[in-house]
Structure formats: structure tokens, C-alpha cells
Amino acid sequence: AKGTAAQNDIRAIGAALDMYKLDNQNYPSTQQGLEALVKKPTGNPAAKNWNAEGYLKKLPIDPWGNQYLYLSPGTRGKIDLYSLGADGQEGGDGTNADIGNWDL
């Protein structure tokens, strides 16, 4: 159940990132992070057409109480968006397995 909840969060955050990219021509950088979906980021790439209402009201945390992780550019795709699973560490099996946008 927690794995499914994490997948749903990743889909929702991913959709918000896609809307951000539509408005601003780029995904936020790793340094700008997912926080760029909640408040206008500084730095590059510039968010010239950032939606004044934001893209998410607040950032969800994963079902195990940790922040979702984000890389842009990603190592597995244009962006990597993921949870480290129950153990909060990379890799693992079962409930400890990482759950990422590359699995969806």
C-alpha cells in the first residue's frame, strides 16, 4: 500500500514538473529542486513564466516520512524523481526498494 502511495505521489509531482516545464521551457535544476514547484526559484535555468499560484500547494513526503529526491538532469532519464523506500537508503528489495519515475 505504501509503495502504491509513493507511486501516486511521484505521478502527481511528475505532472507538476511537466507543467513547470511547459511554462518555463526547462525542468528546475537539481539545485532549484522540487521546492521550485511551491515557490519561484532563483538561479538558472530562470523561471521566467513561473505560475504565480505555484504548481503544488506543498511538497508531499513519502509514506515513510522522507522527502522525495530529484535530479535534473537525471541518471535514468531527463529527470529522476524517487523515494528511497522504507529503509531510506539506495537500493534494497521489497518495501526497502527504491521507487522512481523510471518504474512508472
pTM (predicted TM-score): 0.95
Confidence of residue 51 (pLDDT cuts 50, 70, 90): very high
CA angle, residues 88, 91, 97, in degrees to nearest 5: 70
Amino acid type, 75: T
Measure the CA–CA gap between 13 and 98, rounded to whole angstroms.
Answer: 16
- 82 backbone dihedrals φ, ψ, rounded to 5°: -160, 165
Give yes or no for a contact between 97 and 83, defined as CB atoms under 8 angstroms apart. no
The CATH number for 72's domain is 3.30.700.10
At 104 the pLDDT is: 92
Coil, strand or helix: which one is 32?
coil
In the chain, the number of structural domains is 1
Domain of 37 in residue numbering reads as: 2-103
69: left (phi over 0), alpha (psi -120 to 50) or beta: beta
For residues 70 and 30, the answer to whether their CB atoms sit within 8 Å is yes
Of the chain, the percentage scoring pLDDT greater than 70 comes to: 100
Taking Cα atoms as reference points, which of 101, 102, 104 lies closest to residue 34? Answer: 101
